[in-house]
Homo-oligomer: A and B are copies of this chain.
Amino acid sequence: MALFAERGFDNTTVADIAERAGVTERTFFRHFADKREVLFEGASAVQELLVTKVAGAPESAGPLDAVAAGLYALAELFQERRDFSRQRRAIIDATPELRERELIKLAAWATSLAEVLRGRGVPDPAAALAAETGVAVFRIAWERWTDDDSDSDFRQLIQESFGELKAVTTAT
Contact = CB atoms under 8 A, between A and B. Distances in A.
Interface of A: 61-65, 96, 99-101, 103-104, 107, 125-126, 128-130, 132-133, 135-137, 139-140, 143-144, 160-161, 164-172
Contacts of A132: 133, 136, 139-140
Contacts of A125: 140, 144, 160-161, 164
Number of copies: 2
25 contacts: A61-B172, A64-B171, A64-B172, A65-B172, A96-B104, A100-B103, A103-B107, A125-B140, A125-B144, A126-B164, A126-B167, A126-B168, A129-B136, A129-B164, A129-B165, A129-B168, A132-B133, A132-B136, A132-B139, A133-B133, A133-B136, A133-B168, A133-B169, A135-B136, A169-B169
A65 B168 CA distance: 10
Contacts of A99: 104, 107
Looking at chain A's contact residues, the main secondary structure is helix
A40 to B, nearest CB: 13
Given A61-B172, A63-B168, A169-B169, A140 B136 contact: no
A168 B167 CA distance: 13
A140 B125 CA distance: 8
B171 A62 contact: yes
A115 to B, nearest CB: 14
